[in-house]
Structure 1
Amino acid sequence: MVRILITNDDGIYSKGIKAAVEALQDLGEIYVVAPMFQRSASGRAMTLHRPLRAKRINIEGARIAYALDGMPVDCVVFAMARFGKFDLAISGINLGENMSTEITISGTASAAIEAATHDIPSIAISLEVNREKHKFGEGEEIDFSIAKFFLRKVAKAVLTQGMPKSVDMLNVNIPFGANKDTPIKLTRLAKRMYMPSVEERIDPKGNPYYWIVGTQCPKDILEPGTDMYAVKVERKVSVTPINLDMTAKVELEKIRTHLKL
């Protein structure tokens, strides 16, 4: 029996994780382990300095589900320790797109990356939302039907064909307003998604405090062929193949010569 792990970074009560279960429940046994709370932008953080607490919960369509008071990466580690190897790992459906090299910040993408390091074919899937408040909510007002359609399509392909050679993970992004006829574009990662800055404010006692904020890169500087261009300009579903070996594809001896090492 095919065993599928589903996790996320929006938290166990996000409608996106329930949508993922609904999309895949007839493809195998579904195991869900996800954070108890919102953990967006947690990257590959792990909980090493305190014990973890797990709570068994009921999610219709899942064989078993746990809420963990840790990070998305913790959830993958916990699931493997508790239940063994999986045939496929899904992280999402995330509220808000996860694109560019900034996927290393994303808890959604990082959970899929963690599973991939254990040789589990992995898919991170995210849905663009049109209002900022939805990115950190539970998705009450969001229609996940199209994201479910594309998740099932990609997951079935991976389960049937296997992951392509030299590909460890697929990062999928669905544009807001997509339909079942929206084309899929194979893409590479854009360099950046946001231009970050720090906003200073003053608390009631006169002390400064700071928020990290950011604005999305303008469309006119996006490169064709990237995930950002596909979603933001072409309004296509982007599927980006990810390889975990981040070593620069150069001759190492040339690096030695260049750096005089």
Structure 2
Amino acid sequence: MAKILVTNDDGIHSRGIKAAVEALQDLGEVYVVAPMFQRSASGRAMTLHRPLRVKRINLKGTKVAYALDGMPVDCVIFAMARFGKFDLAVSGINLGENMSTEITISGTASAAIEAATHDIPSIAMSLEVNREKHKFGEGEEIDFSVAKSFLKRISNAILSNGMPKSVDMLNINVPYDAHENTPIELTKLAKRMYMASVEERVDPKGNPYYWIVGTQCPKDTLEPGTDMYALKVERKVSVTPINLNMTAKVNFNDVRRHLQL
């Protein structure tokens, strides 16, 4: 029987992780290790300067479930140390899309990346939300049924056939208005999802403080063939095959001459 790891960055109590378990429980034994708390935008951060605490959780459909007071990457490392190798790792279903090269910021994508570095076929699964407040909640009002269907379908294919050649991870984004027959588009990562800036505010004592804020790139600037174009313009499910080797595909002799090495 397949051994499946499920984690996320929204926290153990997110309905998205329960939805992932429901989608996967018929495909194998599901192990859940997820953060105790909301850890969105944690990237590949690891907890190295304090001990980690863990709590056993009763989560229907799982062989075992733990809440870890660390980061998503910590959860993958803990799960492998405790339970050994997995046949598939799924991070999600995340509340809010994770697209463009900014997936390196995402705790959801980073957990899948961490698993992939250990040669575990991995999926980062995200569901677009149409209201900003939903991105950092527990998903009480969200319908995960369609995202669950796509997750089960693609996970079953990976467990049966393995990952495609030269693919380490899949980054999947489902539109909030998707249905069972929504087309799937294979995409590349867009360059950026948000244009970040800093907003200055003043506290009641007159001291300034700052929020990092972001404005999503306008639709008319999106490049066809990218994950953002597929989701935001075409309203398709975006599946981006990710390879972990970020080395530029260039002629090293040309680089040597350019840098005068």
- TM-score bucket of the superposed structures, by smaller chain: over 0.9
The match for 2:95 is 95
**Deviation at residue 161 of structure 1 after TM alignment:** 1.1
Name the SS for the 1:257 alignment partner. Answer: helix
1:114 maps to a residue whose letter is E
- 1:3-152 alignment to 2 at 5 Å? 3-152=3-152
Report SS of the residue matched to 2:258.
helix
1:185-200 correspondence to structure 2 within 5 Å: 185-200=185-200
Read off the aligned partner of 1:123 and give its amino acid letter: I
Partner of 2:234: 234
CA shift, 1:18, in A, is 0.2
Where does residue 207 of structure 1 map in the other structure?
207
**Displacement after TM superposition at 1:176 (Å):** 1.2
Read off the aligned partner of 1:71 and give its amino acid letter: M
Structure 1: 4+ residue segments shifted above 2 A: none
Secondary structure of the equivalent of 2:114?
A: helix
Question: How far off its partner does 1:137 sit?
Answer: 0.1
Report which stretch shifted further, 111-120 or 201-210: 201-210
Query: d(CA) in 1 for partners of 2:178 and 2:150?
Result: 10
* Secondary structure of the corresponding residue to residue 20 of structure 2: helix
Match of 2:155 in 1: 155
Compute the RMSD of aligned alpha carbons: 0.4
SS in 2 for 1:180: coil
Q: Secondary structure at the match of 2:181?
A: coil
Secondary structure of the 1:125 match is strand
Report Cα offsets for 1:194-219 as digits up to 9, x if no partner.
Answer: 00010000111111100000010000
1:207-240: CA deviation from partner (whole Å, max 9, x where unpaired): 1100000010000000000000000000000000
5+ residue gaps, structure 1: none
The match for 1:246 is: 246
Aligned partners of 2:136, 2:48: CA distance in 1, in Å? Answer: 25
TM-score by length of 2: 1.00
SS of 2:173's partner is strand
State the secondary structure of the residue aligned to 1:211.
strand
Partner secondary structure for residue 115 of structure 1? helix
In structure 2, what is the equivalent of residue 176 of structure 1?
176
**TM-score of the superposed pair, with normalisation by structure 1:** 1.00
Take 1:205 and 1:29, find their aligned partners in 2: how far apart are those partners? 54
